[in-house]
Amino acid sequence: MLSVLDLAPIVAGGDAAQALACSRDLAQHVEEWGYRRFWIAEHHNMPSVASAATSIVIAHVAAGTTKIRVGAGGIMLPNHAPLVVAEQFGTLEALFPGRIDLGVGRAPGTDPFTARALRRGLSLSADGFPDDVVELLALLGPSEPGQPVVAVPGGGSKVPVWILGSSLFGAQLAAALGLPYAFASHFAPRELDRAVELYRARFRPSAYLERPRVMLGVNVIAADTDEEAARLATSLQQAFLSLRRGLRVPVPPPVERLSLGSEERAMLEDVLSCSFVGSEKTVRKQLTDFVERTKADEIIVASMIFDHRARLRSYELLADWASAASAPLE
């Protein structure tokens, strides 16, 4: 099963309006191609990301589609009061019934200065994340008689909640609460195997889920040839290098050749080890091997590609793979 992770990327020379229009267009295409979900991630103070107001972007995408599930991958819960999140996603569920997902994480999705600006009047610590998740689940569940605070809309909506993580912490929490788990292997792959193993081993069946469900994030850049895919992938590589250098820039255009030092090359190989680049045939084998190794229930694909038409083509090639008789995700 394939899904999409989108950050509404702002490319060099473009703007937020263009990025949001492209995200909606992408959602419309992947809906036709049979993708399961279209998730949007919360990031702040980043010139390359237009999805900071995540719930609004979800509404924008859901309004332009008819059947694909749309949700957050994710909402950074320490930035928000659980009641506000319950109301926002309860409203989305009322507008688009049966199509809304809510993935939550405990990272700020930004730098410490921006995190402080976001959380003004709230705790600056993410230590309360487990309690916030429990509170959020209660607010989205059936209202109890005499309950002093009710999310309206939200209460009784039962919007599905996923725990997002890039470490063992999220795996343990998702297992303890009996919630589905999405691991951010597309940018933090080091703890992938340990986190998934821990989650499955400690999972407790709940009213939300009977058995463990694992979604894994990967970067995929597919094109008609290996050479073209490798060229397109230089935008993703440049973006990670800029972040590591403390630079915040829009998504850069691809280059024919990226000059890298040994340390930079090693860093990219590490952080992008769950990235699959190449022609349809090449990517098909890489993804098949990855799914066979991890036994993932679902793959959510991020594709940071500068040119929108090339990004559409990448997802189209993946859709062909997912629908093939030999594909393990079908």
Range of the domain at 174: 2-323
Please state, in angstroms and rounded to a whole number, the distance separating the CA atoms of residues 43 and 141: 27
183-205 pLDDT, tens digit per residue, is 999 999 999 999 999 999 999 99
The yes-or-no verdict on residue 328 having pLDDT over 60 is: no
What pLDDT does residue 325 have? 31
What is the DSSP secondary-structure string of 7-18?
--BPBTT--HHH
The yes-or-no verdict on residue 330 having pLDDT over 50 is: no
- Classify 43 as helix, strand or coil: coil
The total number of structural domains in the chain stands at: 1
Distance between alpha carbon 86 and the CA centroid of its chain, in Å? 19
Task: Look up tokens 């916030």; give the residue.
Answer: 132
Strand partners, 3: 300
Structural domain includes residue 7: yes
Structural domain includes residue 329: no
The yes-or-no verdict on residue 181 having pLDDT over 90 is: yes
Q: Is 66 exposed, middle or buried (0-12, 13-18, 19+ CB in 10 A)?
A: exposed
Task: Look up tokens 């991630």; give the residue.
Answer: 41
54-75 pLDDT, tens digit per residue, is 999 999 999 999 999 999 998 9
Structural domain includes residue 29: yes
What pLDDT does residue 121 have? 56
DSSP state of 329: T
What pLDDT does residue 125 have? 56
Give the residue among 55, 83, 207, 56 at the shortest CA–CA distance from 140. Answer: 83
Structural domain includes residue 184: yes
- Which pLDDT band, with edges at 50, 70 and 90, does 322 fall under? low
- Which pLDDT band, with edges at 50, 70 and 90, does 4 fall under? very high
What pLDDT does residue 126 have? 59
What CATH number is attached to the domain comprising 307?
3.20.20.30
Contact (Cβ atoms closer than 8 angstroms) between residue 74 and residue 101: no
Give the lowest-confidence range in 49-58, 167-176, 313-322.
313-322
Whether the CA torsion 182, 305, 324, 25 is positive or negative: it is positive
The yes-or-no verdict on residue 98 having pLDDT over 60 is: yes
What pLDDT does residue 329 have? 39
Please state, in angstroms and rounded to a whole number, the distance separating the CA atoms of residues 155 and 98: 15
The predicted model gives 36-58 an average pLDDT of 95
Structural domain includes residue 330: no
The predicted model gives 272-295 an average pLDDT of 95
Contact (Cβ atoms closer than 8 angstroms) between residue 303 and residue 221: yes
Range 202-206, long-range pairs (CB < 8 A, 24+ positions):
202/171, 202/172, 202/175, 202/176, 203/174, 203/175, 203/178, 204/175, 204/176, 204/177, 204/178, 205/178, 206/177, 206/178, 206/179
Structural domain includes residue 282: yes
- Can you read off the two tokens belonging to residue 296? 């993932």
CB half-sphere exposure, 163, CA atoms < 13 A: 32
Please state, in angstroms and rounded to a whole number, the distance separating the CA atoms of residues 330 and 324: 8
228-247 pLDDT, tens digit per residue, is 999 999 999 999 999 888 88
Structural domain includes residue 205: yes
The yes-or-no verdict on residue 165 having pLDDT over 50 is: yes
What pLDDT does residue 146 have? 86
Please state, in angstroms and rounded to a whole number, the distance separating the CA atoms of residues 239 and 251: 6
Please state, in angstroms and rounded to a whole number, the distance separating the CA atoms of residues 43 and 259: 28
- Can you read off the two tokens belonging to residue 175? 């297992």
What pLDDT does residue 257 have? 87
Strand partners, 221: 277
- Which pLDDT band, with edges at 50, 70 and 90, does 127 fall under? confident
What pLDDT does residue 261 have? 87
The yes-or-no verdict on residue 120 having pLDDT over 60 is: no
The predicted model gives 86-100 an average pLDDT of 98
What pLDDT does residue 123 have? 54
Structural domain includes residue 209: yes
Share of residues in the chain with pLDDT > 70 (%): 94
Q: How many CB atoms lie within 10 A of CB 103?
A: 27
Statement: the pTM of the whole predicted model exceeds 0.85: yes
Please state, in angstroms and rounded to a whole number, the distance separating the CA atoms of residues 324 and 223: 17
The predicted model gives 8-24 an average pLDDT of 97
